[in-house]
């Protein structure tokens, strides 16, 4: 497989996609983005080719991939905590759209397909920690089941069609340009609530422990795999250490100088409670650590960005 030349990011205007685009551009790699809407927190970049449309418009997707050698799929239509009795249609749509997209690529110029899966939902509540890539896949949510299904279909598709794949299982990404008014990304969401004297809602207990990764580290680590032409592998990308919600809130209180008001609610059955990723495979493959930003430094940068956004909203 030759050097990476032009990458198409499906859902590239989202949180992770925007940082991956930055990382690619920093190495003079051409970037094309297909998304339904522009970025939420910054204007379009002149170096990027943008195409706007719905993921179900497969004829448009088929045309826009021409000339690209790598495609990165960053789209998912529902979230890990979706209520079980409301996700049947969402599950089918998410999986079907991905499968149909893959078949649009059969005769395209795409050589490598990169799929962003989940470093938590696919494993479910782990049998042991830290969790390596070969840990049993036992999802406890429709979101996790969909991610596993899409991983397996991608692997089969690539074997049958002479394509290469790369599956990324990130831990919980956080950082600038994450939607602090959305329903994913506890760090900016908690920061925003604490700054606005609104209660932080904890589903379950404050001892829940998870792995977090600064989004710029996630983008850099993914780029390193792409530049190394590493294909047909699955990689965890995380910090490799756990932080409880209690510790997370304490750090936010230190960084913001504000005290949190906490509201406890019943745990969500579809949420993975405690998970830490084993990133040994990434380190042994690339010779470097996936995460180079400690949690407090990453949170401080996120906080500075959040303050700027809030000030911009008031102007």
Q: What angle do CA 163, 215, 206 make, to 5 degrees?
A: 120
65's tokens: 């991939």
Q: What are phi and psi of 130, to 5 degrees?
A: -70, 160
Distances (CA, A) of 185 to 49, 176, 190, 272: 28, 11, 9, 15
Known catalytic membership, residue 212: no
- Contact predicate 254/286, CB 8 Å: no
Q: Tokens 């596993």 label which residue?
A: 148
Among residues 143, 174, 212, 282, which one is catalytic? 143
Q: What is the 3-state secondary structure (H, E, C) of the chain?
A: CCCCCEEEEECCCCHHHHHHHHHHHHCCCEEEEEECCCCCCCCCCCCEEEEECCCCCHHHHHHHCCCCCEEEECCCCCCCCCCHHHCHHHHHHHHHHHHHHHHHCCCCCCCEEEEECCCCCCCCCCCCCCECCCCCCCCCCHHHHHHHHHHHHHHHHHHHHCCEEEEEEECEEECCCCCCCCCCCHHHHHHHHHHCCCCEEEECCCCCEEEEEEHHHHHHHHHHHHHCCCCCEEEEECCCCEEEHHHHHHHHHHHHCCCCCEEEECCCCCCCCCCCECCHHHHHHHCCCCCCCCHHHHHHHHHHHHHHHHHHHHC
Active-site residue list: 143
């Amino acid at each position: 497989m030759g050097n990476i030349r032009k990458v198409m990011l499906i859902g590239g205007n989202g949180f992770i996609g925007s940082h991956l685009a930055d990382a690619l551009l920093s190495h003079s790699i051409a970037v094309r983005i297909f998304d339904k809407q522009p970025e939420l927190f910054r204007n379009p970049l002149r170096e990027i080719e943008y195409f706007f449309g719905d993921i179900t418009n497969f004829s448009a997707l088929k045309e826009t991939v021409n000339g690209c050698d790598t495609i990165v799929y960053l789209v998912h239509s529902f979230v890990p905590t979706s209520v079980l009795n409301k996700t049947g249609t969402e599950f089918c749509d998410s999986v079907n759209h991905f499968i149909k997209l893959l078949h649009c690529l059969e005769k395209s110029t795409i050589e490598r397909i990169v799929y962003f899966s989940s470093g938590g939902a696919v494993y479910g509540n782990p049998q042991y920690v830290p969790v390596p890539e070969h840990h049993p896949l036992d999802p406890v949510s429709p979101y996790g089941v969909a991610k596993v299904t899409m991983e397996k279909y991608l692997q089969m598709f690539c074997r049958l069609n002479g394509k290469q794949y790369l599956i990324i299982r990130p831990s919980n990404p956080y950082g600038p340009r994450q939607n602090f008014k959305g329903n994913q990304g506890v760090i900016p969401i908690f920061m925003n609530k604490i700054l606005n004297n609104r209660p932080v809602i904890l589903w379950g207990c404050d001892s829940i422990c998870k792995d977090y990764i600064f989004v710029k580290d996630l983008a850099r680590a993914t780029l390193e795999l792409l530049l190394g032409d590493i294909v047909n592998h699955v990689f965890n990308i995380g910090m490799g250490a756990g932080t409880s919600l209690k510790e997370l809130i304490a750090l936010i209180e230190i960084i913001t100088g504000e005290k949190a008001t906490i509201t406890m609610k019943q745990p969500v059955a579809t949420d993975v409670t405690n998970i830490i990723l084993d990133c040994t495979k990434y380190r042994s493959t690339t010779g470097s650590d996936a995460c180079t930003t400690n949690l407090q430094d990453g949170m401080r940068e996120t906080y500075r960005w959040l303050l700027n956004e809030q000030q911009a909203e008031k102007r």
